[in-house]
Structure 1
Amino acid sequence: MLLASTLASATDLVVTLPGSKLLSRKVVQYSCDASAVKIGLPAVPFDVEYINGSGNNLATVPILGGLLIFANVSSASGARYAAQQYIWWEAKGSATLYLDSPAQKDKSVCQPVTRK
């Protein structure tokens, strides 16, 4: 349960997860298909950070030049995260960003980049 959050500055956010002794963080770099820029993802490879602790599962994804914090939501398979009108769905080694707009549901498929 998110108990407290503090705005440290205009660009920093500190979230306190009480009792979260086992906090795990993982950064994965992705590269996406040609639809990426159309729905707000960077045209170049980018990092997504996965943060898990105290029953909270979050992912930070760069969208439209900013960083959105996605919260894990129920999923039949894989890990599905939601923020605003976006769904970031990570499953079987790849991820898909969905933009749910009134006109249609756009998507971009992303693959992890192997770092050397």
Structure 2
Amino acid sequence: MEAVQSEVLPYEKNYLRHGTALTTSLAALDATWDEARSALLGTGPDAVRAREAAAMTAHARWMYASALARTESRGMARRLDFPDQDPAQRHRIITGGLDEVWTRPEPVAALLEAAS
């Protein structure tokens, strides 16, 4: 969990984002995931702690992959390398995967249709 926290808690890594730093953090988190796949085992209370660590690692990887996929600043998501909004990116970023993280845009039209 310390490895994940060292990538997601520092203000300069998670709020003032830059593609280079995001890529570096995602690589560190990918390495953490690779190590965790075989090392996070346990029984009883240790199993809960292992699952928490796995969930934190997976979430952090999804978060940074999504941040890299959005090459603009929007809302509270600030990219130092892309300081402006891009009207062409008015969509959500959907993410998933465990061993291989993926992202894809979900157009606003699909969101509006689903809401009606």
Task: Please give the TM-score of this superposition, normalised by the length of structure 2.
Answer: 0.24
Q: Point out the structure with max Rg over C-alpha.
A: 2
Larger strand share, 1 or 2 = 1
- The structure showing larger relative contact order (alpha-carbon pairs under 8 Å, at least 6 residues apart) is 2
Task: Please give the TM-score of this superposition, normalised by the length of structure 1.
Answer: 0.24
Larger helix share, 1 or 2 = 2
